Amino acid sequence: MEAGSYAVKLIRKIQNEDIHSISPRQDVTDAFNEHVQEWTKHTIWADRCRSWYKDYKTGRVNAIWPGSSEHFIELMKQPRFEDYTITYRKKNMWSFLGLGNVPANMTEGVDRSPYLSVDAIDPRWLAAINRERQD
């Protein structure tokens, strides 16, 4: 579920921001792999044995997350876009903003300020204003 949600967030960013390509940065993957190898030194995974998850000759662990399942799930909730090299379709990365409008700006009769609501006003302030008006 989390991996699917992660992928959908990446795809949405690509579509919404007119991105040509997105790929993990090499320095980031190198640093992550270094962290994994350091982490495994303090676990059972460091024992000398033959296994599918490690290279027997070098001892390098190749197939394990450095933490619990819950830890992995938490990290996968939100992509770390700073860990990627992003290439945009156009020279200016901000060109996807277009003319700065949304469909509601072009539709007759649509509330242009939906963020304003009487319900959002502090009732104490409303009471004070009403008292002033009565005076």
User: Where do the domains of the chain lie?
Assistant: 2-105
Handedness of CA 55, 58, 59, 63 (dihedral sign): negative
Mean pLDDT of 37-50: 86
Which phi and psi (to 5°) does residue 8 adopt?
Answer: -65, -40
Q: What is the DSSP string of 75-127?
A: HTTS--GGGEEEEESSSSTTGGGTTS--GGGGSTT--S-TT--GGGS-HHHHH
What percentage of the chain has pLDDT greater than the value 90? 48
Whole-angstrom distance, CA of residue 3 vs CA of residue 15? 18
Mean pLDDT of 75-85: 95
Which residues share a beta bridge with 85? 23
Whole-angstrom distance, CA of residue 113 vs CA of residue 53? 56
84 touches 17 (CB < 8 A): no
Please state whether the predicted TM-score (pTM) of the whole model is above 0.75.
no
Q: 120 pLDDT band (50/70/90 cuts)?
A: confident
Mean pLDDT of 84-102: 92
Whole-angstrom distance, CA of residue 111 vs CA of residue 102? 12
